[in-house]
Structure 1
Amino acid sequence: MPKLLLIDDDKEVLKINAKYFIQDGYTVKAATNARTAYKLLKDYTPDCIVLDVMMPGIDGFKACTELKKLCQAPVIFLTGRDSEDDKVQGLLLGADDYMIKPYSLRELSARIQVLIRRYQKTSVVSAAVLEYPPLRLELNVRKAFYENEEIPLTNKEYDLLHLLAASPNTVFTFEDIGQAIWGQYIESDRKTIMVTVNRLRKKLSDYPALCHSLETVWSKGYQFIVK
């Protein structure tokens, strides 16, 4: 039975959503603020977190950063703000999906199931390692290392690095990347992908052997270079 953590300051919305997901076969714990959510994670390991962006005190953007330190569960943002900048910010902070209010609970449930399956598929790979010394990707824990130092990546940055490194010296188009990592691609996603690539490239540039590993192929896409 999949486990959810719902975080929303609107108690009525939280009650409606919790009831729906319990009836849909989920185990549900709920929090009306980020601090309560942090405490719940001490003895509860959700398979997915559904997080409202607009909350007083610690908002969803700030909460996401801390939640990602506490657990490996995918995060879906819920928000009434339909701007591209907000979407990009959320995804770069580590969110795995983004839904605009008003939303369909049926669609939200479907998206949750997709994310859980995707993460479980990764986690069943026992001790799997992708290695191009000094770079090492430990697939079962979704972490990247430079020698023995962990490279601090968001979920999407890790997914991008894994995608490219799994097929070195192969060009991935914007559409390839969008479909593989976000499950879809529309032209407006190009900016999100470019920002994610630039963030990943900046982090890799801190490590001498990786400075030029992520290459832009003009008018086509990106590739991970292994010599």
Structure 2
Amino acid sequence: MEASSWGVPGRALPLILVAAPVDVPLGWLAELEDPRFSYRLQTSGHEVVRDVYRYRPDLLILGLRLRDPGPFEVLRRVREMSEELRVVAVDRAFRRAEAEHALESGADDLFWYGMPDGLAKALIMARLRRATPVTPSAQLIEDGWLRLDLGAREATVQGRFVPLTSLEFDLLHVLARNPGQVLSAEQLLRHAWRSRPDGDPSRVKYAVLRLRRAVTRATGAEAPVETVRGVGYRYVVPGPHPA
């Protein structure tokens, strides 16, 4: 079963990432057909971890019979990336030991495929209301060099589109929203990763490196993200460029 074609960066709707084995009941998937949100289905644990990193979903529904790797390894990796992502574990039927293991491992909630019609969707909507961040009032950041469209989640530099992963976009957004200000790795983890500030700061170092490379590949220009040794990183608005 291939991933849904819905749920891509630049989405206008909340995105649910569904991690389920290939034999997930089709009737239950019908609960996810709703104009108020989109969903993306993956049947491999590796693809789920990749999609959490790439798409930054608003909610993860994690099947407890997932394979390659299994659900608890996926949950461990997801929690390394984000403490804030709401995770709902789902199984074919309620199994107490599995339910307790899931909740102790970092899941926030639990339901199962055999719930009465409509109840799963009602629970999903309730979780999304708590998980979806408030839309920022300013939808554009423009400084003469960089343009960030927060609604479309698109970045352009001097009129050239810069393809960024969702995490790279969020990182650039946090830096560009605070031009000239040095932000520590802990601050960036909190705001770009939406994670606890005691996470691994090496994530920031390598994400900044990937962001710089993405800008250079797309535009030929260096990304104006400076490293302030021993302190953090800052975005400095480039001055006028000669014609």
TM class by shorter chain equals: 0.5 to 0.7
Stretch deviating more after TM superposition (178-187 or 198-207): 178-187
Of the two structures, which has the highest relative contact order with CA contacts closer than 8 Å and spacing of 6 or more?
Answer: 2
Q: Kindly name which structure, 1 or 2, has the bigger radius of gyration based on alpha carbons.
A: 2
2:161 alignment partner in structure 1 = 150
1:110-149 deviations in whole A, cap 9, x for unaligned?
Answer: 975454225xx14x65xx3211233211122111012333
Structure 2 residues not aligned, in runs of 5+: 1-13, 63-70, 90-100, 112-123
2:37 alignment partner in structure 1 = 46
Alpha-carbon distance in 2 for matches of 1:3, 1:82: 18
1:193 alignment partner in structure 2 = 204
Q: CA RMSD in A?
A: 4.4
The aligned length equals 186
Q: How is 1:132-211 mapped onto 2 (pairs within 5 angstroms)? A: 132-206=143-217, 207-209=219-221, 211=222
* 8 Å contact kept, 1:47–1:73: no
* 8 Å contact kept, 2:15–2:58: no
Amino acid at match of 2:133: R
Q: 1:185 to 1:73 in 2, by over 3 A?
A: closer
Q: 1:176 to 1:188 in 2, by over 3 A?
A: closer
* 8 Å contact kept, 2:148–2:154: yes
SS in 2 for 1:169: coil
Alpha-carbon distance in 2 for matches of 1:4, 1:82: 16
1:64-90 deviations in whole A, cap 9, x for unaligned?
Answer: 39x95xxx9546485422698x559x9
Alpha-carbon distance in 1 for matches of 2:61, 2:202: 19
Structure 1 residues not aligned, in runs of 5+: 20-26, 30-39
1:80 alignment partner in structure 2 = 72
* 8 Å contact kept, 1:5–1:46: no
Question: TM-score if structure 1 supplies the norm length?
Answer: 0.60
Tell me which protein shows more helix as a share of its residues.
1
Question: TM-score if structure 2 supplies the norm length?
Answer: 0.57
* 8 Å contact kept, 1:48–1:74: no
Deviation at 1:182, TM superposition (A): 2.8
Amino acid at match of 1:6: V
Q: 1:140 to 1:54 in 2, by over 3 A?
A: closer
